[in-house]
Amino acid sequence: MVRYSVLDRTFSALSDPTRRHILERLARGPATVSELAQPFEITLPGLLKHVRILEQADLVITEKHGRTRQCRLGTEPLDDAAQWIQTYRHHWEGRLDRLGSYLDKHEGARR
């Protein structure tokens, strides 16, 4: 069972397009904060704010190497988020399947 507060933080972190872009970039490999900032029209402090939110949600792990800060992905929270969506879709698809079987049976009875 996924702890609820973890899902709160994960989904909240994913609700911003800049933060999703940062994760998409890091999925291709680690990057420094300056490298992450490059594609965005955003100040470094502005980007750092997003990185901190991702860090608090364990979606990004940062390490200081001398004067630069290296960022890489933390994937566990995303697995939990995907699992929540999957479980919920299974319930829903299960209902649709049962409805389909009912309609098939009903149709069969009318033939």
Q: How far is the CB of 87 from its own copies (least distance, A)?
A: 8
Of 11, 42, 62, 69, the one binding its own copies by CB under 8 A = 11
- Residue 77 CA to residue 34 CA, distance in Å, equals 25
> If binding is defined by CB under 8 A, does position 76 make contact with its own copies?
no
**Closest residue by Cα to residue 34 from 99, 109, 102, 25:** 25
CA angle 15–18–23, rounded 5-degree value: 85
> If binding is defined by CB under 8 A, does position 92 make contact with its own copies?
yes
- Residue 74 CA to residue 89 CA, distance in Å, equals 25
Of 52, 68, 85, 101, the one binding its own copies by CB under 8 A = 85
Minimum CB distance to its own copies smaller for 36 or for 73: 73
Phi and psi for 101 in degrees, rounded to 5? Answer: -60, -40
Of 49, 52, 89, 105, the one binding its own copies by CB under 8 A = 89
> If binding is defined by CB under 8 A, does position 56 make contact with its own copies?
no
Q: Tokens 């904060």 correspond to what residue?
A: 33
Minimum CB distance to its own copies smaller for 96 or for 109: 96
Minimum CB distance to its own copies smaller for 4 or for 109: 4
